[in-house]
Amino acid sequence: MLEIFAHDNRSKVLALITVNFAFWLNTILLIPTAVGQELYGGTVSFIQFNDDGSFTFQLSHKGMPVVVKSPECDINNMFLVKMRHGKVKYEKLVRMRNDIRSVFLNTPAKLQISVFISFCDETTGYPLVDNIMLGQQVN
């Protein structure tokens, strides 16, 4: 695409500078939207499955509950996963339910879980989980 506009070396350099400027401008503008998410990890110490498909759980690290550092959340030591438009669809909710169930039941395997939080639920005050990732605990 750059070759269409480039007739000489000055045009090539100008086109390259324009593309680089556009790339960096997009990067600077999009990074603040990704920074709002926070990552928490630990082992699952409590879980409650609800009739609507959602579930709440508690993480612990070295025997202490994991606490969310967010002043907007009324409850800082529990996590909520539910279907949300644009973030958590039915298939993702089922996968996260299965992941958290396997972590909770397989305590001898030392499975760890990491969760991404972006904001709090307005009705319950729980931090809302965007994604769950599994991993092995490393000593």
* pTM of the predicted model as reported, rounded to 2 decimal places: 0.65
Domain made up of 37-136: CATH architecture: Beta Barrel (2.40)
Question: What confidence score (pLDDT) does residue 48 get?
Answer: 92
Question: What confidence score (pLDDT) does residue 27 get?
Answer: 45
Using alpha carbons only, what angle is made at residue 24 by residues 20 and 28, rounded to the nearest 5 degrees? Answer: 170
Could you tell me the residue ranges of all domains in the chain? 2-34, 37-136
CB atoms within 10 A of CB 118: 15
| Successive 10-residue mean pLDDT values, the chain, 139 residues | 56 69 49 54 87 89 85 87 79 86 70 81 88 73
Q: Is the separation of the CB atoms in 104 and 98 below 8 Å?
A: no
Question: What confidence score (pLDDT) does residue 6 get?
Answer: 45
Strand partners, 117: 38, 129
The C-alpha atoms of residue 118 and residue 88 are separated, in whole angstroms, by 12
Question: What confidence score (pLDDT) does residue 117 get?
Answer: 85
The C-alpha atoms of residue 24 and residue 43 are separated, in whole angstroms, by 39
